[in-house]
């Protein structure tokens, strides 16, 4: 317990590049500091996710996905007076940093994960976007190659689903597909919060539509080869029968 308290104190006192968990901007009230043009549930002060993007269409899609969760899910609070008057359910937010600031000797995977947990939990508690502790915050530190999901006690979700969603997101993050990874995670949490089945994860290098197209082409080629082989076989059989009859006729003559 003592080691844990000392560790937390060390991590928070050292801080993170540009931001500590307490100085990290709030995307609802400090949207410009989060790299956004309007209040949202997505914060990326270092513009890691959209760096090099030519337009904001994809950004809008992710922001809309986060907004839709509040509309398409129901309030899960035990008491009705805890639910906001306007229709809204769970809240899912995203916080992105380029790299956490850790001491040189704090490089083990366990230490990095613990630092990510502290950062995510602190931001979620400070922003206080829940109705009854029913919110989720996805934290991504790009250069540390770590993603952590802070989940309120009011969110009913299995740990196995959390691990599965995080592992699938990490596959895309390792390919530097940060937007795709975050979008995938948000969509899967949306399924869980709506009590739906998770999507089947596609990890092939080619997109699914390309694989389907290739499969159809291969099937057509194989079908053509089989039909051609059958046609040749039938033609050979007919020719063989004609040759036999021709020999018989010659003998009879």
Residue the block writes with tokens 């740990």:
159
Cα(245)–Cα(123) distance, rounded to whole angstroms? Answer: 91
Say whether 16 sits in a helix, a strand or coil: coil
User: pLDDT tens per residue, the chain (253 residues)?
Assistant: 333 433 444 444 343 455 788 889 999 999 999 999 899 999 999 999 987 555 566 668 899 999 999 999 999 898 888 888 776 899 999 999 998 877 777 678 899 999 999 999 999 999 999 999 999 999 999 999 999 999 999 998 999 999 999 999 999 999 999 999 999 999 999 999 999 999 887 655 545 555 566 667 777 788 788 888 787 777 777 666 555 555 555 555 5
Instruction: Supply the pLDDT for residue 51.
Output: 75
Say whether 57 sits in a helix, a strand or coil: helix
Cβ proximity of 118 and 14 under 8 Å: no
Cβ proximity of 62 and 109 under 8 Å: no
Longest dimension (CA), the chain: 112
Q: 154 to each of 76, 131, 134, 229, how far by Cα in Å? A: 7, 9, 4, 64
Question: Which two structure tokens, joined as six digits, stand for 55?
Answer: 């337009």
Q: 102 to each of 36, 90, 127, 173, 247, how far by Cα in Å? A: 27, 32, 23, 21, 93
What is the DSSP-derived secondary structure letter of residue 81?
Answer: G
Say whether 238 sits in a helix, a strand or coil: helix
What is the DSSP-derived secondary structure letter of residue 155?
Answer: -
Instruction: Supply the pLDDT for residue 191.
Output: 96
């Amino acid at each position: 317990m003592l080691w844990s308290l000392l560790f937390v104190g060390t991590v928070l006192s050292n801080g993170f590049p540009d931001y500590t968990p307490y100085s990290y901007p709030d995307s609802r009230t400090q949207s410009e500091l989060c790299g956004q043009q309007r209040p949202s549930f997505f914060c990326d002060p270092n513009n890691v996710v959209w760096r090099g993007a030519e337009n904001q269409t994809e950004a809008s899609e992710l922001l809309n996905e986060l907004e839709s969760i509040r509309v398409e899910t129901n309030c899960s609070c035990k008491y009705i007076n805890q639910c906001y008057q306007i229709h809204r359910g769970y809240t899912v937010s995203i916080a992105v940093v380029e790299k956490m600031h850790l001491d040189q000797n704090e490089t083990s995977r366990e230490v990095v994960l613990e630092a990510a947990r502290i950062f995510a939990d602190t931001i979620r508690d400070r922003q206080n976007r829940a109705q009854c502790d029913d919110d989720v915050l996805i934290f991504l530190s790009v250069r540390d190659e770590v993603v952590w999901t802070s989940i309120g006690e009011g969110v009913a979700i299995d740990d196995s689903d959390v691990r599965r969603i995080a592992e699938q997101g990490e596959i895309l993050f390792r390919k530097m597909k940060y937007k795709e990874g975050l979008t995938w995670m948000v969509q899967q949490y949306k399924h869980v919060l709506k009590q739906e089945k998770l999507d089947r994860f596609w990890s092939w290098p080619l997109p699914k539509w390309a694989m389907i197209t290739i499969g159809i082409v291969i099937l057509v080629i194989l079908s053509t080869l089989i039909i051609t082989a059958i046609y040749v076989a039938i033609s050979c059989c007919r020719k063989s029968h004609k040759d036999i009859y021709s020999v018989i006729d010659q003998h009879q003559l």
